[in-house]
Amino acid sequence: MSSGEPTDDEVVQTASDAAEGYVFSQYKQSDVRDLDVTVTFEDGVLEVDVYLNGPDEEDGPDPEQVADDAALTARQAVDELFEDADAA
């Protein structure tokens, strides 16, 4: 493992994996019609956009809320990545 701050690529990959992981913890992969996770990390600024076309289940989680929560989960994962780097 490299020492110091995570690379931009590590930040983007961590955020993307976390967002997708959250979505698929809420829905079966086969129920998700479309998922687009866009992550940018430039000059220390993280942007996460999640587009989700989820199932039309009345009793399931709201796709818009799941997309918002996935973006938050991505940001939290990146925060943890930097905390781990600072602790090392």
Residue 17, domain extent: 8-87
pLDDT in the model for residue 16: 98
CATH number of residue 82's parent domain: 3.30.300.100
Does 59 map to a domain?
A: yes
Rounded Cα–Cα distance for residues 66 and 31 (Å) = 13
pLDDT in the model for residue 3: 59
Does 1 map to a domain?
A: no
Residue with tokens 């918002």: 68
Does 43 map to a domain?
A: yes
Cβ proximity of 19 and 48 under 8 Å: yes
Does 76 map to a domain?
A: yes
Question: Number of folded domains in the chain?
Answer: 1
pLDDT in the model for residue 1: 44
Low-confidence residues in the chain, pLDDT < 70: 1-3
Query: DSSP for 25-87?
Result: HHS-GGG-SEEEEEEEEETTEEEEEEEEE----SSS--HHHHHHHHHHHHHHHHHHHHHHHHH
Does 3 map to a domain?
A: no
Residue with tokens 């938050």: 72
